[in-house]
Amino acid sequence: MSDYKISVIISTYNTGNYLNEFLDSIKSQSMGFDNIEVIFVDDNSTDEYTLNLLREFDDSYKNVMSIFMDNNSGFPGTGRNVGLNNANADYVIFADHDDTYTQDAFEVMLNKIAKNDMLISNFNQVYTDRTIPFKSIYGDSGEIEVSSFQDDLNLLRVPAAIWTRLFRKDFLIKNNIRFLEGMLAEDVYVATYACLKADGIIYLNDFYSYNYKIRDSKHNKSTIHVRNRKYIEAILNGYYKIDEMLTDINQTSYGELIFKSHLTSWLYTIVLSQLDDSDKKELFIKSRDIFNKYYSEDPYFKKRYNNLVKLILNQEYDSAVLESNKLSKTQKNMNDRSLFSRIRNRLVR
């Protein structure tokens, strides 16, 4: 039996500047640092500072393990799977390298999970100038506990946010729930698969366990805000793997609900990107099948993307490119107004 109550798994790549703050948030956990196993899996970093820091962590703390991969996989999924293979505690959670946990995060989650296979908590969105608690579709509701996702289908619409999900390790292993490798949406895949398979889910809608930092400046971007062809296509590849999984376990009837927020958000990423028209067209062509199978309108975008989706579904790809370029100008104007408003509000405080 392990001495640790929880294993925290972190995939890293050239992220040394954030690791001390992250580890400090683990060391300050109210349940006691000695009860926590920390597993860093480095994706063949080229930054000596990151590598030396991870070696220092490994040497300094008996409950911190740093694993160094021989080859760069390019995406977080491989490192997370390696971490799971090496985890010793009965419960596991997967964190991002540049965020932090609140002080009582693990104590509360471990006390609440009971016999459930998965626990989900909420998170704070941390911007450079403000912090906003995320508001889910459950509004101000508190705790939701079900024996199966079928008791409350809205659980399929809770953000994947893998760092807020505590899993019973044996549940993941028994059901062979693994992160996708070589692509993105690996977190959506695991969150969705686990939700569909879990024997008992508890959602702490009113408990904020995690500080999610929004990095989206020119020289400092989280992976989710990188908008080049490689990453945008990697997300789409992940969506098709989720479709395969839903087909394999005969759960495609829930696909529209699962993809409701993701497909339009993927288009939004293209609209904000600097991709050339040929790349956009190829991505629209490749995405058509998944849109045709699972698209449903996301009210958050207030019908702005309806025409673009219609053009993709009708295979009018050149027109879809023109529509995306038009949306890009509109979205830039909206974002500029939002930025100006935030700056103005800061000045008048």
The pLDDT tens digits for 27-42 are 999 999 999 999 999 9
Residue 320, domain extent: 227-343
Query: pLDDT category, 169, cuts 50, 70, 90?
Result: very high
Model confidence at 342, pLDDT cuts 50, 70, 90, reads very low
pLDDT at 334: 60
Return d(Cα 82, Cα 96) in angstroms, integer. Answer: 15
* Amino acid, single-letter form, for residue 334: M
pLDDT the model gives residue 220: 47
Greatest alpha-carbon pair distance for the chain in Å reads 61
Mean pLDDT for the stretch of residues 160-167: 98
Same domain, 171 and 319: no
pLDDT at 208 over 50: yes
344 versus 114: the higher-pLDDT residue is 114
Token output for 122: 């909420």
Q: Are residues 35 and 77 in the same domain?
A: yes
d(CA 199, CA 217): 41
What Cα–Cα distance (Å) separates residue 158 from each residue in 178, 195, 227, 279, 340?
A: 20, 10, 24, 31, 30
CA distance 315 to 321: 11
Domain count of the fold of the chain: 2
Kindly state whether residue 136 falls inside one of the protein's structural domains.
Answer: yes
**71 has pLDDT over 60:** yes
pLDDT given at position 171: 98
What percentage of the chain exceeds 90 in pLDDT?
89
Q: How confident is the model at residue 345 (pLDDT cuts 50, 70, 90)?
A: very low
**Is residue 250 domain-shared with residue 333, that is, in the same domain?**
yes
pLDDT at 332: 73
- Give the model's pLDDT for residue 249: 98
Residue 339 has pLDDT above 50, yes or no: no
Q: Which tokens hold the place of 20?
A: 């001390």
Indicate whether 90 and 196 sit together in one domain: yes
pLDDT average, residue stretch 336-346? 42
Query: Is 83 within a domain?
Result: yes
Q: Does 222 map to a domain?
A: no
Please state, in angstroms and rounded to a whole number, the distance separating the CA atoms of residues 141 and 39.
Answer: 34
Averaged pLDDT of the chain: 93
Does residue 135 share a domain with residue 236?
no
3-state helix, strand, coil in the chain (%, to 5): 50, 20, 30
Q: Is residue 36 within 8 Å of 8, Cβ to Cβ?
A: yes
- Mean of pLDDT values over 56-79: 98
Percent of the chain past pLDDT 70, that is, above it, reads 92
On the 0-12 / 13-18 / 19+ scale of CB atoms within 10 A, 89 is buried
In this structure, are 186 and 256 located in the same domain?
no
Residues 107 and 209 in one domain: yes
As beta bridge partners, residue 36 has 6
CA–CA gap between residue 71 and residue 45 (Å, rounded): 9
**Residues forming a β-bridge with 12:** 42
> For residue 338, is it within any domain?
yes
Q: Where are the alpha helices (DSSP H) in 249-275?
A: 255-259, 262-272
Identify the pLDDT of residue 251. Answer: 98
pLDDT number for residue 57 = 98
Q: Is 244 exposed, middle or buried (0-12, 13-18, 19+ CB in 10 A)?
A: exposed
| Nearest to 233, CA basis, from 191, 172, 183 | 183
The arithmetic mean of pLDDT across residues 152-158, rounded, is 97
Is a pLDDT exceeding 70 seen at residue 349?
no
| 98 neighbors 15 (Cβ within 8 angstroms) | yes
pLDDT of residue 216: 58
Average pLDDT over residues 144-171: 98
Task: Identify the domain boundary among 217, 239, 274.
Answer: 217
CA pseudo-torsion sign 145, 150, 151, 154: positive
> Residue 337 has what pLDDT?
47
Q: Residue 333: pLDDT band by 50, 70, 90 thresholds?
A: low
> Would 348 be classed as within a structural domain?
no
Average pLDDT over residues 247-266: 97
**Both tokens assigned to 169:** 């390790």
Does position 104 have pLDDT exceeding 90, yes or no? Answer: yes
Is 34 in the same domain as 178?
yes
* Single-letter code of the amino acid located at 105: A
